[in-house]
Amino acid sequence: MACIFCALDEEAKVIQSKHFFAVWDIDPIQQGHLLVIAKEHRMALAELSVEEGMDLLAFQKELIGQFELEKGVLGVTLATNNGALMDSGTHFHSHLIPRYDHDGFWEQLQLEAVAFDKAGFVKRLKQSSEAQK
């Protein structure tokens, strides 16, 4: 099976670092749920170079910092899909899941209870990213 992450087009990518890109999860656990995906097809964290690992950490830190500026976001759950546990047709990636008070985490029925301004988030994220260059 072909890797769906390797086949993503540029329009799907919210923002990118040198070695990773972020996309909105197609089946989100919470509003604002992002995936951070390696640009190169890697199956496990152990396959990343030191440079890629440092870029991953810096990129996740930037995204989490932006999430925590959003109204109602109390923190972010970070989960990494690594190795054989992943769905076929994917590769190494992390989930960044914003958390809200009484968010019913993992309960899909609660997803609509929280408003999240994706467009505003992306605009601020890109402005912040440009300011750091």
Distance CA 97, CA 23 (A): 12
The active-site residue out of 19, 33, 91, 93 is 93
Element (H or E) spanning 54, and its range?
A: helix 50-67
Instruction: State yes or no: is 41 an active-site residue.
Output: no
Distance CA 28, CA 113 (A): 13
Q: Which of 38, 48, 29 is nearest to 100 (CA)?
A: 29
Ramachandran category for residue 108: left, alpha or beta (phi over 0 → left; psi -120 to 50 → alpha): alpha
Catalytic residues: 93
